[in-house]
Structure 1
Amino acid sequence: MSQLLPYQPRIENRPNLVPSLRAGHIPRPRLGEALLHAECRLRLLWAPAGSGKSFLLRECAQHCPPEARLHWFDLKDRELGEAGFLQLLADALGLARADLAAVQVHLEQQQTPIWLMFDDFPHFYDAHLDSCLNRLLQSSSRQVFWWIASRRRPTCQLARLLLEGELFELGTAELALNFTELAEVLKRQRQTALLPEIDNLLAQTGGWYAGIRLRLHSVEHGQLLAEEAGNALVKNYLERELLDELPEHWRQALCALACLSSFDAPLCEHLLGMGEGTQLFRQLYECGAFIEALDSNDRQFRVQPVVAAVLATRVAEGPKKALYRRACQWFSGREEVRQAIEYALLADLPEVVASLLQHITQDRLLHGRGMARVLHWRNELPESLLASTPRLLILNAWALALSGRLDDAEECAEQLQRFLPQATARRQREMLAQCQALAAKTAYHRGQAPVPGGDLDAALDHLAEGAWAQRLMLETMNIEMALVEGRMEAFQELNRNAVKLAREHGSLVMEAMLVLQHVQLLKIRGELVRAESLLKRLHTELSNAWDGEPNPLRGRAQLCRGSVLLQLGRYPEAAVCYQAGLQECLDCEDPAAVWGYLGLAELEAAEHDLTQAFARLAEAERLMQYRRITEPVYQDLLVVAYGKLWLREGRYERAADALEKCLQQYRGPDGRKPPYGSAELIQRMELLLALAQTACGRDVTAQIEAMLQQALAEGRRVLACELWLGLAEAQYARSQQGLAQRALLDGLALARQIGLADVERCCSQRNPGLMRWGREALSEAGSSAAALLLSQRELTVLEMIARGQSNQEIAENLFISLHTVKSHAQRINIKLGVSRRTQAIVRAKELGLVK
């Protein structure tokens, strides 16, 4: 297949002159070659006006093979029914008769290739014309090749042709210019100054061929003019190419639909007139009036955004608000609250908005962009309306709390006092329970642990049965505290019960929140592959549930998967997940976006781009402040992130001072608790502080050993691995070579068993000499599982466990204390990835450590 070439002069087998390509047209080799390579009898290009169909057809005409005859039919502005269509064909083919039978017989008997190219096939439905075309398509010889460019898809037996491999079609999406094509256009037109604006230009035009050309006509001094200037050209184009051809009531209907974000046939019937609304919509859709389907089932539609904004300006303000009021009524009747609220706002009906908001339940805040929408809607309403009912105050307070705006949430919750006392004792208890639930929620996110008999317990005791979503949100706090305190069995029991409650109410979103908590446990235990698999499945389920709409929990799942992939050393994949999760959380105004910034900063640090990593953290802090997120939600996470970067830079004293100051808030019985979703924050701050102090020449081996014992006792395998490596660094710095080697080998063995490639990388960056020494020791030790996993003493203890000896018997036989035996058993379980001695025996036999 040759490349598409400039148009060649007409030769003998081109009896109908093909119009020449105009100066400045945009070549489309991507599409032209696809059309020319297609092995089929019908090539159909169908899309609205200005999609470049005619130019593409002309480009393809230049490549008609010499042995084929080409007939070009320019049907623009022609009144063409069945008879006219047959007459055109008969004249072109040299037939004496222009009836269907004569044309059909001639095309059936065609022995040599012939191209029939129809530009601008009639875009208004004509049953007789379509039937005629269908009969010719079905009966014509395989030597007859049909090329049709039209604003509509003819009602022929296209499905049959497609199944037979005889149809190749391009629609609106395929005909839209892509990034590469637009860049080529700008280069050809010597407008390279606009190359940085390609994304903006594509967003404004949707890749619409005519829209791009019109926007480029509005260029001044290498800059795109204001969008209004481009819209003025689009408006003139649409009036000439589309609106002038439509009957008046069609024009009015199209402009009304352009005011809507989306619509379906029943809504059209309601808005455009009973008995004719659906028909009007179908007629406009079928004639290529820039209406596109939003789903694969062709149920939801919209006017293409590039022209919708222009067409909507033709509707006066009064009729437009009346349209929005009727749309609001329609969606209210169908209990589709979100759409009803959006149209009530457009119709300037704040009282209706306030009334509708009361139908939103707390679990709905985490559906799609529910939380962001409620925050947006509250900005559109006067304060008096927002505080007019308890339900509105409760909804807004929960939205503010979930978005991290704790001060605003508390202020909102305080206004509930105005509605006390309630009329009955039951309602009084339920109202007080809501106040206590909000108080517990905000206090927890400020770092205050729940106390027995406090607001959290009281709220759980008295919340109404219908407040199951609030109950689950409170239960997540108890679950998180169990994880923070290392009560792993209690965590699992609480998590299972909460999942059961979520499933009883069919709440995927609440179940997803609990799954993310379970993933935290898997990450702590070092079950990273299992964690990633669970996160991928959760992402799929959430995507299927909301058709790809941004969702805060799906964003969190992406961020969590990014952290798992980072630990596994799969950095490019981690970057993709972090970027996707960050954008999703930003779209939903979820404060978990800070995790995305932290993850990307860590990846940039891994690439030795510390400048960009620091900038990323500054960007996170700026966003949190701009959105009025309360500091305890994010501030200490940033301190840890900055601490890691300062260690990389060698600014050890600064890191130690910042971490020590931060840790002071967490020490003591009344110390703060870590923010939600960061159960090991305190331990990681202490580890970073120990590393900074080691670099400053201080002896912290005792502190690290104590932290290691605690991590082993609680089954925190990833943390234990990092602590072993940190202990090796501290001992190496104190010239305790033998102890450092044992700790390093323990840490490296566990890291490789779990797959913690990032832990090795971090340690190598901090202390490359130590890691080289450790890897050489591993290499000398050999590749057996025994050499890599367990010390000789641990192997001895394991063999005695496998023989059925108790801890006391082992202590007596080895002349060591019972406490030492238990420590060895804990280390064995951690290294083998098990929690019980029976599991350790099974795992050891699988690895060949014992017989």
Structure 2
Amino acid sequence: MKAFDSNAAANDEGQVSRDDRGSGELIWELVRHRVQPAQLSQNHYRRPELTQKLASTLKPGAILHLEAPAGYGKSGELRAALATLSPAPANIRWLSLNEQDNDPLRLYALLAVALTDRIDSRMSSLERRGQVFADALELLLSTTTFDQSTILVLDGVDLVCSQPALVVMKHLLRHQPKNLTLVLISKKSLPFETHSFELEGRFTRITAESLEFSREETTEFFRPALERGLLTQVAIEHLYSLTEGWITPLALYLRELESQGAGRVPVQESRSVVAFLRSLVQEQMSPAQVRSLAIMAELEVMNDELFLAIADGQCDRQFLPSVAVAQGLPVRCIPNRGHWYRMVPLVREWLLASPMLGREARATLACEWFYEHGQYGEALRYALICHDPERAGRIAAKGSEALLVGQDTASLLSLAQSLPSELIDGSPRLRVVYSWVHAFGGQFAEARALLDGIPDSSRQALRGRLAASRVFLLSGEGHVQKALAEAEAALDEPDLTPHGRLITLLVKSSALCALGKSAAAREAHRDAAKLARQSGDAGAELLAVYAHSKIELSKGALKHAENLLRTGLDAAASEPVRPPRAGESRLMLNLALVLWHQGRLAEANHLLIRFVRQAEKGRDLVLLVALSLRTLSAKVQGRLEEAFSWIGQAERVMQAWHVDEVVYEPVLEALKISCWLAQGQTDSAAQAMARLKPYREQHRILELFPMMPGLLDTLEVRLALANDQIEEARTLLDSKAFPDDHDTPFGHRLHGGLLKALVLFRQGSSGKAFELVAKLVDQAGAEHYVSPFLELRSEIRDLVVQVLAGMGRSPFTDTLRTLYGVEASAGEGGRGVELPEPISDREFGVLELIAMGLSNQSIADKLHISLHTVKTHARRINAKLGVRSRTQAIVRARELGLL
């Protein structure tokens, strides 16, 4: 970036000491015009949540720092927040700083005018030392009275970097008056420390992660263009993937779309977007720095050491990836990867559109660097880029086990496309490796073909590997019982490699967990975890933690699972330099699943956004799980159009990856049924259920979706209830696997129990239904297991609302009340309710038995009174509660807290 040159900078105030008083006053009047009011753009795209977030930080004595590269709408969003403040601030001063303001006199003059609207030309003759003007500023602050609505905005504060000017700036923050609100806007990190202000609780930093558009906001932003047919939902998703919510390129592209119509070009070729990128990169940097950035673009991921290994003599070798991040360029830190960085895809695509000579040579150097550091997946990627199949083959042979544990499917499949087909076909070892690769990618038919093609003469030497491959293949196809039998045989093979044994044990643990055999699953997992620790492979240990979390999730132990997952992610983050690992992304996915079950949808979606990006790049099949979660999240929030778009994206990706239909079709059909039920389209849901019949008859339990059989059972019951087929629903509940025992997955038990209660409620057995729901609420409350109540909300609303009316306060019941939009009744927790005529103890005893669902005759037998007396009590109860039926009496009594 350009450095400040104090000698070259224009210094208007320097004339004051040489000219007469009138000239000096004229210069100060020019300074006054630098201070501007905050004006909101008429075409500002409104983002209420972000606006409220910013507005909540604008308090007297507080400091708000907006830090993001150019184009993230920092100034616009701040103006929007200022416009919402109530009462409206009477005094907002907006000061845009530039490099010339590194002169301490000039900076002091600007601050003095902004804060007091007074000029002080006497300061012009003082020596230009920062401390002099800092002392003057401190005096000015201490002698000026600010009202409660004074806000000073310093835009471009990172441009003030000279030592004298920094002394003045630090004094402003350190001696900030209590009634003054400060806002700092910068493209890069501040050139002074702020941790002391953070510890005082008066400093808030908002970064690009908060300012960028979410995927949902991007869709809404382009909604008018979508409705006019200027682009499709697929195009919007691609735009978001490229820009990652970078606001200015999206806004420029939308404006160009609206002016040019259907004749659109890719965003990285858009005239206005290219002009923006050129001004951001080329006009702000030296040619050597531009070359450094272009070389960084050739790397998928980078760190300083790797960059130095491939940089040439034409680069600015001081302009490292870490420096690019600090300078506010669109280069980002990779979460959970230590000092690793990546470029925003739009900038990378634009830079790569003009390739530089020597790219293959640099790819070779990158390949060697990754290989030397044991990162075989990345080494393989760059071996393919430099078109060296021999080198790629050596890497695959050397690091095949590590690649398999890491599940780097994308690199291995790319390698397969570049290698001669006869090389793989003629190598039994490569056949085994690629059978694993295709199985990881859900291409089971191709995996089987590779294994079947191995000649008999080679099978004896590969017995252990072949057995482990068959285990994983059977598990992936959902043949759980066969996979378990094969796993036992594989573990008895003496030549089974440590990584093969580890994968086999993990598959065994998952299969036992899917069958509800938690104790046996934990035993298999213990063996796998021990082997992972002995291997010294951090990636293997992460996979072991992932398997453990699956067992805890099945049991419904959400809090323990969350602790396991966060501990595993923290352990992974403790390594300063590490390759991407499938285990780490799976921990992230399972953590999102835990958050989803607990109703923490915003947190879950934040994780899923990061995960989806990683999974798409690595061709990770668990992307299907992530997209399923995003579908359900959109559905339960009423965004059904978005939910169907996620289903469509999942289907397109699975087809593009040539995944076997048996892996994804049942999942997508189930998601469609859930969405159609939410829309009341029972015919469409019934047709989809019919299409799933062949799959259900095969009794498959897919490794990625062990909950699928139970999910389909519940959907079938829900479909019957939606069609008012109450007896059919009851028959299905009695015939399906909804046992209330500890071997059944906890989520399945909750879904089944709530549906049983709904059937009882609709059959008139309200008391039994209320009692069952109350029991389920207590069970779910221990782990804050919200998801069944969220998924079934539309069906069980009336039932749950009535139960909540009679339940006490707890974090879980409060969450349910918020979810169902009901308030806690004033009379919760006891019988001390004021009625016009109180209910007697005898009547209360009858009321309790009515609520339990007993008939009048059963109540008479239980209390040893006549049937006539029971009816009399019931009539009096109804009269005192102001209701006309038994059901209404139960509801009213629960609302009043009598039951």
TM-score of Structure 1 vs Structure 2, range by shorter chain: 0.5 to 0.7
Query: Which residue number in structure 2 is paired with residue 810 of structure 1?
Result: none
Contact residue 495 and residue 514 of structure 1 kept, 8 A: yes
Query: Which residue number in structure 2 is paired with residue 255 of structure 1?
Result: 294
The Cα offsets for residues 114-170 of structure 1, whole Å up to 9 and x where unpaired, read as 9999876796x9xxx722223334567948999987666564455567667897777
Query: Which residue number in structure 1 is paired with residue 503 of structure 2?
Result: 473
1:513 to 1:314, Cα distance in 2 relative to 1, 3 A? closer
SS at match of 1:280: coil
Please report how far the alpha carbon of residue 433 of structure 1 lies from its aligned counterpart in structure 2 after TM superposition.
1.9
Contact residue 475 and residue 483 of structure 2 kept, 8 A: no
Query: Which residue number in structure 1 is paired with residue 431 of structure 2?
Result: 393
Q: Residue type of the partner of 2:547? A: L
**2:61 and 2:631 mapped to 1: Cα distance?**
51
**1:303 and 1:413 mapped to 2: Cα distance?**
40
**1:691 and 1:717 mapped to 2: Cα distance?**
19
Contact residue 54 and residue 120 of structure 1 kept, 8 A: no
The Cα offsets for residues 476-518 of structure 1, whole Å up to 9 and x where unpaired, read as 5555666677777655544544444444446334324532553
Question: Rg: which structure is higher?
Answer: 1
Gaps of 5+ in 2: 1-25, 112-118, 574-579, 807-844, 856-899
**1:709 and 1:147 mapped to 2: Cα distance?**
58
Q: Residue type of the partner of 1:133? A: A
Query: Which residue number in structure 2 is paired with residue 437 of structure 1?
Result: 468
Contact residue 711 and residue 720 of structure 1 kept, 8 A: yes
Instruction: Normalising by structure 2, report the TM-score.
Output: 0.59
Match of 1:134 among 163, 166, 175: 166
Per mean C-alpha deviation after superposition, the further-off stretch among 255-264 and 631-640 is 631-640
Percent identity reads 16
1:228 to 1:405, Cα distance in 2 relative to 1, 3 A? closer
Residues 1:515 and 2:528 are matched in the alignment: no
Contact residue 753 and residue 776 of structure 2 kept, 8 A: no
Please report how far the alpha carbon of residue 24 of structure 1 lies from its aligned counterpart in structure 2 after TM superposition.
7.0
Per mean C-alpha deviation after superposition, the further-off stretch among 159-168 and 388-397 is 159-168
Query: Which residue number in structure 1 is paired with residue 375 of structure 2?
Result: 336
Query: Which residue number in structure 2 is paired with residue 272 of structure 1?
Result: 311
**1:210 and 1:169 mapped to 2: Cα distance?**
21
Query: Which residue number in structure 2 is paired with residue 327 of structure 1?
Result: 366
Per mean C-alpha deviation after superposition, the further-off stretch among 281-290 and 323-332 is 281-290
Query: Which residue number in structure 1 is paired with residue 562 of structure 2?
Result: 536
Contact residue 757 and residue 769 of structure 2 kept, 8 A: yes
1:181 to 1:661, Cα distance in 2 relative to 1, 3 A? closer
1:210 to 1:38, Cα distance in 2 relative to 1, 3 A? farther
SS at match of 1:299: coil
**1:743 and 1:61 mapped to 2: Cα distance?**
55
Contact residue 104 and residue 168 of structure 2 kept, 8 A: no
Contact residue 263 and residue 300 of structure 1 kept, 8 A: yes
1:170 to 1:723, Cα distance in 2 relative to 1, 3 A? closer
1:809-848 alignment to 2 at 5 Å?
A: none
Please report how far the alpha carbon of residue 216 of structure 1 lies from its aligned counterpart in structure 2 after TM superposition.
5.2
1:374 to 1:778, Cα distance in 2 relative to 1, 3 A? farther
**2:271 and 2:673 mapped to 1: Cα distance?**
54
Q: Residue type of the partner of 2:473? A: T
Q: Residue type of the partner of 2:439? A: A
**1:201 and 1:386 mapped to 2: Cα distance?**
38
1:415 to 1:585, Cα distance in 2 relative to 1, 3 A? farther
1:212-291 alignment to 2 at 5 Å?
A: 214-215=252-253, 218-219=256-257, 220-221=259-260, 225-227=264-266, 231-237=270-276, 239=278, 243-244=282-283, 246-272=285-311, 278-281=317-320, 288=328, 290-291=330-331
SS at match of 1:329: helix
Query: Which residue number in structure 2 is paired with residue 16 of structure 1?
Result: 32
The Cα offsets for residues 233-272 of structure 1, whole Å up to 9 and x where unpaired, read as 4444555565356443333223322333343222233233
Contact residue 43 and residue 169 of structure 1 kept, 8 A: yes
**2:419 and 2:453 mapped to 1: Cα distance?**
17
Query: Which residue number in structure 2 is paired with residue 828 of structure 1?
Result: none
**1:236 and 1:13 mapped to 2: Cα distance?**
35
Please report how far the alpha carbon of residue 542 of structure 1 lies from its aligned counterpart in structure 2 after TM superposition.
5.0
Q: Residue type of the partner of 1:397? A: S
1:732 to 1:433, Cα distance in 2 relative to 1, 3 A? same
Q: Residue type of the partner of 1:553? A: R
**2:624 and 2:519 mapped to 1: Cα distance?**
30
Contact residue 328 and residue 344 of structure 1 kept, 8 A: yes
**1:216 and 1:521 mapped to 2: Cα distance?**
46
Please report how far the alpha carbon of residue 599 of structure 1 lies from its aligned counterpart in structure 2 after TM superposition.
8.2
Query: Which residue number in structure 2 is paired with residue 96 of structure 1?
Result: 125
Please report how far the alpha carbon of residue 625 of structure 1 lies from its aligned counterpart in structure 2 after TM superposition.
6.0
What root-mean-square deviation, in Å, do the aligned CA atoms of Structure 1 and Structure 2 show? 7.1
Contact residue 389 and residue 419 of structure 2 kept, 8 A: yes
Contact residue 234 and residue 310 of structure 1 kept, 8 A: no
Contact residue 396 and residue 412 of structure 1 kept, 8 A: yes
Please report how far the alpha carbon of residue 471 of structure 1 lies from its aligned counterpart in structure 2 after TM superposition.
2.0
The Cα offsets for residues 314-369 of structure 1, whole Å up to 9 and x where unpaired, read as 542x23333322222222222222332333333333333333233445575464x7
1:443-454 alignment to 2 at 5 Å?
A: 443=474, 445=476
Residues 1:39 and 2:61 are matched in the alignment: yes
Query: Which residue number in structure 2 is paired with residue 300 of structure 1?
Result: 340
Please report how far the alpha carbon of residue 432 of structure 1 lies from its aligned counterpart in structure 2 after TM superposition.
2.3
Contact residue 471 and residue 483 of structure 2 kept, 8 A: no
Contact residue 112 and residue 143 of structure 1 kept, 8 A: no
**1:117 and 1:730 mapped to 2: Cα distance?**
61
Please report how far the alpha carbon of residue 409 of structure 1 lies from its aligned counterpart in structure 2 after TM superposition.
0.7
Residues 1:403 and 2:441 are matched in the alignment: yes
SS at match of 1:339: helix
The Cα offsets for residues 613-652 of structure 1, whole Å up to 9 and x where unpaired, read as 9999999788766644445556777899999999995999
Q: Residue type of the partner of 2:440? A: L
1:259 to 1:225, Cα distance in 2 relative to 1, 3 A? same
SS at match of 2:339: coil
Query: Which residue number in structure 2 is paired with residue 833 of structure 1?
Result: none
Q: Residue type of the partner of 1:17? A: H
Please report how far the alpha carbon of residue 720 of structure 1 lies from its aligned counterpart in structure 2 after TM superposition.
9.0
1:453 to 1:561, Cα distance in 2 relative to 1, 3 A? closer
**2:619 and 2:152 mapped to 1: Cα distance?**
55
The Cα offsets for residues 84-117 of structure 1, whole Å up to 9 and x where unpaired, read as 9899999966522443276456445436559999
Please report how far the alpha carbon of residue 402 of structure 1 lies from its aligned counterpart in structure 2 after TM superposition.
3.0
Q: Residue type of the partner of 1:459? A: A
1:744-823 alignment to 2 at 5 Å?
A: 754=779, 781=849
Contact residue 410 and residue 619 of structure 2 kept, 8 A: yes
**1:690 and 1:616 mapped to 2: Cα distance?**
25
Q: Residue type of the partner of 1:18? A: R
Contact residue 595 and residue 603 of structure 2 kept, 8 A: yes
Match of 2:492 among 438, 443, 461: 461
Task: State how many pairs are aligned.
Answer: 736
Q: Residue type of the partner of 2:349? A: A
1:414 to 1:160, Cα distance in 2 relative to 1, 3 A? same
SS at match of 1:279: coil
SS at match of 2:455: helix
Q: Residue type of the partner of 1:471? A: R
Query: Which residue number in structure 1 is paired with residue 881 of structure 2?
Result: none
1:200 to 1:361, Cα distance in 2 relative to 1, 3 A? closer
